[in-house]
A and B are shown apart, each in its own frame.
Chain A
Amino acid sequence: MKITKYAATAALVLSAVSASGLVQADVLVKVDGSSTVYPITEAVAEDFQKSKKNAVKVTVGISGTGGGFKKFCRGETDISDASRPITKKEMEDCKAAGIEYMEFPVAYDALTVVVNPKNDWIKSMTVAELKTIWEPAAQGKITSWKQVNPAWPDRPLKLFGPGADSGTFEYFTEAINGKSKSSRGDFTASEDDNVLVQGVARDIGALGFFGYAYYEENKDKLRSVPIVNKDGNPAVAPSLKTVIDGSYQPLARPIFIYVNAKSADKPEVKEFVEYYMKNAEKLTKEVKYVPLPAKAYAYNDDHFAKRIKGTKFGGENKVGLTIEDLMKLEAK
Chain B
Amino acid sequence: MNQQELQALRTMIVVHKRWDMIFGLIGILALMIALMTFTALFADMAINGVGRISWEFLTSFPSRRAADAGILSAWVGSVLVMLVTAFAAVPLGVAAGVYLEEYARKNWVTDIIEINVSNLAGVPSIIYGLLALGLFVYTFGLGQSILTAGLTLALLILPVVIVATREAIRSIPQIIREGAYACGATTWQVVSDHIVPYSSAGILTGVIIGMARAIGETAPIITVGALTFIAFLPPAPFTGEPPAGLFDWLFAPFTVMPIQMFNWTSRPEAAFLANAAAAGFILVLMTLAMNGLAIWLRYRLRKNINW
Assess the B270–A217 pair: CB atoms within 8 A.
Answer: yes
Assess the B246–A16 pair: CB atoms within 8 A.
Answer: yes
**Of B90, B141, B229, B245, which is within 8 A of A6 by CB?**
B90
Assess the A59–B200 pair: CB atoms within 8 A.
Answer: no
Q: Which residue of B lies closest to A41 (CB)?
A: B229
User: Contacts A3-B196, A3-B200, A45-B231 known; A194 to B265 CB distance under 8 Å?
Assistant: yes
0 or 1 for each of B214-234: is its CB under 8 Å from A? (1 = yes): 000000001001111111100
**A46-66 interface with B by 8 A CB criterion:** 46, 49, 54, 57-63
Contact partners of A54 in chain B: CB under 8 A: 231-232
Assess the A194–B143 pair: CB atoms within 8 A.
Answer: no
Contact partners of A63 in chain B: CB under 8 A: 222
Q: Which residue of B lies closest to A57 (CB)?
A: B232
Assess the B196–A46 pair: CB atoms within 8 A.
Answer: no
Assess the B241–A42 pair: CB atoms within 8 A.
Answer: no
Give complex CA distance A84, B64 in Å: 23
User: Contacts A4-B192, A46-B63 known; A59 to B229 CB distance under 8 Å?
Assistant: yes
Q: Which residue of B lies closest to A20 (CB)?
A: B245
Give complex CA distance A26, B251 in Å: 11
Give complex CA distance A39, B66 in Å: 12
Whether, in the assembled complex, A278 has its beta carbon less than 8 Å from a beta carbon of chain B, the answer is: no
User: Contacts A25-B241, A59-B227, A193-B266 known; A11 to B91 CB distance under 8 Å?
Assistant: yes
**Of A42, A61, A217, which is within 8 A of B225 by CB?**
A61
Give complex CA distance A13, B63 in Å: 35
Contact partners of A3 in chain B: CB under 8 A: 90, 94, 196-197, 200, 203
Whether, in the assembled complex, A10 has its beta carbon less than 8 Å from a beta carbon of chain B, the answer is: yes
User: Contacts A4-B192, A287-B64 known; A10 to B245 CB distance under 8 Å?
Assistant: no
Contact partners of A193 in chain B: CB under 8 A: 266, 268
Whether, in the assembled complex, B263 has its beta carbon less than 8 Å from a beta carbon of chain A, the answer is: yes
Assess the B247–A61 pair: CB atoms within 8 A.
Answer: no
0 or 1 for each of A205-220: is its CB under 8 Å from B? (1 = yes): 0000001011011100
Whether, in the assembled complex, A7 has its beta carbon less than 8 Å from a beta carbon of chain B, the answer is: yes
Give complex CA distance A22, B242 in Å: 12
Whether, in the assembled complex, A127 has its beta carbon less than 8 Å from a beta carbon of chain B, the answer is: no
User: Contacts A17-B147, A23-B245, A194-B266 known; A286 to B64 CB distance under 8 Å?
Assistant: yes
Give complex CA distance A62, B264 in Å: 12
Contact partners of B248 in chain A: CB under 8 A: 20, 23
List 16 A-B pairs, Cβ < 8 Å. Answer: A3-B196, A10-B91, A14-B88, A17-B247, A17-B250, A22-B141, A35-B266, A45-B231, A46-B229, A60-B229, A61-B228, A62-B263, A194-B268, A217-B268, A217-B269, A288-B268
Q: Which 5 A-B pairs rank lowest in CB-CB distance, beginning with the nearest?
A: A60-B229, A25-B241, A7-B91, A43-B64, A217-B268
Using a CB–CB cutoff of 8 Å, the interface residues on chain B facing chain A are 61-64, 87-88, 90-91, 94-95, 141-144, 147, 192-193, 196-197, 200, 203, 222, 225-232, 240-248, 250-251, 253, 263, 265-270, 273
